[in-house]
Structure 1
Amino acid sequence: MFITTKLWMSHYGDAARRGFQGSLRRLGVDYIDLYLLHWPSPADFAATLTAYRTAEALLSEGLVRAIGVANFEASHLERLLAEAEVMPAVNQIELHPGFTNTALAAVNAAHGVLTQSWSPLGGSVRRSDDQSTDPLASEAIAAIAVAHDRSPGQVILRWQHQKGYCAIPKSVRPSRIAENIQIFDFSLSPEEMARIDALDTGRRGGPDPEWVSMATIPKVIEG
């Protein structure tokens, strides 16, 4: 197993180590493979920086194997890199055919930061008020799936893979988990990749990282 977990904003600042210890206790492990800051929280970025410095210390102590961030826009990443000693290994962002987030992925790549896609199949769209751009319901993706005798989900994950992204699809069904892994024995043509690229609407299904903070999402995780 490769275990990833995140530090929630209620533990940013001086409470970051306590938040990490709480994660270790709840998971029943001695270390974390990948530890991320969940949101940039630009309204209190000083606390974000303090939390990241704690993550750097945890890395040096061997309590985590890699550190990174989630939902950081380009401006947030630049502010972090101006202060950080360790480059984030990962920036986990919303990315799917309906929201390709191409510019941010390019910024990540320019800094050597891996783009990890949350909601890679468009689950954020299906949870939103407007589901008209659901990638799994796309006629273009369905046609590509038929041509390759694959499911629409497999086509989308193959698109993600050929883009060089690390997609993390969510499923609790063993059959679907197995299906999601079976994407390495076929390829999409440049024309098929372009057809999927063209589905981009520029609209998120999830929250805009710029407004996410403890004031807007006042969730508290016990230490």
Structure 2
Amino acid sequence: MKDTAKHQGLRNQLVKQLEDKGIKDINVLNAIKKIPRHLFLNSSFEDFAYQDKAFPIGAGQTISQPYTVAFQSELLQVEKDHKILEIGTGSGYQTAVLVTLGAKVYSIERQNELFKTTKLLLPKLGIRPSHLTFGDGYKGLPQFAPFDSIIVTAGAPIIPQALLSQLKIGGRLVIPLGDDVQVMTLLVRKNETQFEKTEFGDFRFVPLLENKN
């Protein structure tokens, strides 16, 4: 599991691309600069790891393109020790970005094969989320709620009510909404019953699946 000067150079180039595409949060950019994305991919993709593209990671899932990871992370406005619920651990790359930003990350993965692989990988890279679990992301993790923010890393046809209820007042939910193409959506909880909604354009994600357990 090597991370070489060449890899670092490619990450620097990737960060420059993300800046050119409009990512401004210096902490997010620095996290992406630090994290060896090639180690989250099958070795056959290693030469392409620092392109701004999504790649398959098994079980019909993908690692999101770095721009999407950066965009969602920026919308979360992560602060140190924020408690973040991540729906869709996947390869663990987004998890690693959030942990590197100083968040306490609670993450759910619905594909058992991916869950097992990622649970072993993250500690090897020095990435220690607060809690990883195999389960249904639509239900969230009520036992650990409320959360400062929630990030959904798969396309959801609807906003799961369970997730809204697990958000702190003032908390932020970032979720791609839609079927074939998703609209990146931010909901900020104003009080017990009201949420402020902002939309940020089209993205493409694999679908958010439920009821596997």
- Structure number with higher strand proportion: 2
- Structure number with higher helix proportion: 1
Whose radius of gyration is greater, 1 or 2? Answer: 1
Q: Is TM > 0.5 for Structure 1 vs Structure 2?
A: no
Give me the TM-score of the superposition, normalised by structure 2.
0.31
Higher RCO structure, 1 or 2 (CA under 8 Å, sep 6+): 1
Give me the TM-score of the superposition, normalised by structure 1.
0.30
